[in-house]
Amino acid sequence: MTSEPVPSSRVLVTGGAGYIGSHVLHALADAGIPAVTIDNLSTGRRQAVPASVPLVEGDVGSPALLDEVIREHGVDAVMHFAGSIVVPESVEKPLAYYRNNTVSSLTLLDACVRHGIDKLVFSSTAAVYGAPERVPIDEDAPTAPINPYGASKLMTEQMLRDAGAAHGLRSVILRYFNVAGADPAGRTGQATPVATHLIKVACQALLGQRPALSVFGTDYPTPDGTCIRDYIHVSDLADAHVLALLHLRRGGDSLILNCGYGRGASVREVVRTLESVSGETVPATLGPRRAGDPPQLVSAAARIRERLGWVPKHDSLEEIVRSALSWERRLDQERAGRDGA
């Protein structure tokens, strides 16, 4: 890194080489907003970061690295994505999740306070609601996470509220529902080595990268017996982050907002849509319910539209599935190219 000052303020994006972080970096670049990112590349891809964005390889849990990057790049705001996100893994390795998600977030918030940064957009999750009694779920619903992943995110939300009260750190907490799809321009997508998200797994099964899609539970109290989830296109989610940043830069107050479309699709609907888009059959096996899976998770999604003026551009299941399948085919081609090299 150089010691020359950067003339304009930048937003620090943690975890910018990952799935959602990289889409946000492209959205920021498209909006002409300068950024810098820190990523340890444990799950992220260097090539997912736009060429115009400086990538600092390192850990958000390092106070010295944060100090250096904040000073060198004139950081005035932070978007925090870095963290672990696999729910079953969080049950197996809870302390690793609290270390990577909660303790590293504490280090980051401490750096913000130390450097006088008063704007932070936080990547949270609908997992903070646990297994809600009522659907759709609004932002005032009780928070009762049922796994360490959700708990680790909720702890960071509490730290943000406390830091806001004590230090004036304003934040927009975005609680994601089921994020899916890929950049329509093909610049980035979900490339996590071990996939757990339904749409990505279904695409992999369709392309023969795994034997079959496992459908967990067909006897839920839903119209077709399978779980219902609120899927949101990752590019719409990225736009919401840009609007959240602009809200804070205009002096806006702290907000907690659901990120979803306010409607759900069942596992079987997702499979049918993928088969319709591709003209092929998704191999699937039917199994028993998975512990901890609520029948329905659907957002009440009015508040984000009202407070940020967010208008989704990709809110059809067909578009989400089509973009995800296109991205998986691209990854297939990349792998074939490497294997043939």
At 76, list the tokens. Answer: 């005035």
Query: How far, CA to CA in Å, does 324 sit from each of 21, 82, 104, 152, 202?
Result: 17, 22, 30, 28, 10
The side-by-side arrangement of strands in the sheet containing 170-176 is: 55-57, 35-39, 10-14, 75-80, 119-125, 170-176, 255-259
Q: Are 304 and 237 in contact (CB under 8 A)?
A: no
The CB density around residue 292, as the number of other CB atoms within 10 Å, is: 12
Mapping DSSP to helix (H, G, I), strand (E, B) and coil, where does residue 98 land?
helix
Catalytic residue among 149, 176, 220, 231: 149
Closest Cα to residue 234, out of 184, 192, 268?
Answer: 184
- CA dist 125 and 256 (Å) reads 11
Active site residue 149: yes
Is the CB of residue 60 less than 8 Å from the CB of residue 104? yes
Residues 6+ apart with CB under 8 A from 281: 206, 275
- The rounded distance, in Å, linking the Cα atoms of 165 and 103 is 20
User: What is d(CA 66, CA 123) in angstroms, rounded to the nearest whole number?
Assistant: 18
Question: Phi and psi dihedrals of 288, rounded to 5?
Answer: -70, 165
Residues annotated as catalytic (active site), given as ranges: 149
